[in-house]
Amino acid sequence: MERQPSQNAGVPSNRQSSLSDASEQEDLPFGQNIQRDQQLLTERANQIQKNLKNVEVVLRRMYQRNNAELEEFRNLIAEFERIHHVPPQLE
């Protein structure tokens, strides 16, 4: 008796099909796999937000340092003017 090929020969089972579909979906170009794209965009947005917070911290420190240096500079000018004060000229 000859062996007849299965009707499903060459067709993957449901489990194999879903696994291969998943790997094929990962290879799809941007815009073709919505779940993956949303996850990638969310991860990127979170990274950008984290970077912006770091930039904010750095700018705040720079601002505080510049204000402290400006105050010190103003104090030096005031001290110089106090030491070397010349009375106003009478007209």
Task: Indicate whether this model's pTM tops 0.75.
Answer: no
pLDDT tens column, 30-89: 778 889 999 999 999 999 999 999 999 999 999 999 999 999 999 998 888 888 875 554
Q: Where are the domains of the chain?
A: 30-83
- Rounded to whole angstroms, how far apart are CA atoms 24 and 27? 5
More confident residue, 10 or 68: 68
pLDDT band at 90 (very low <50, low <70, confident <90, very high): low
- Report the pLDDT value the prediction gives residue 79, as an integer from 0 to 100: 86
- Rounded to whole angstroms, how far apart are CA atoms 73 and 76? 5
- Report the pLDDT value the prediction gives residue 80, as an integer from 0 to 100: 86
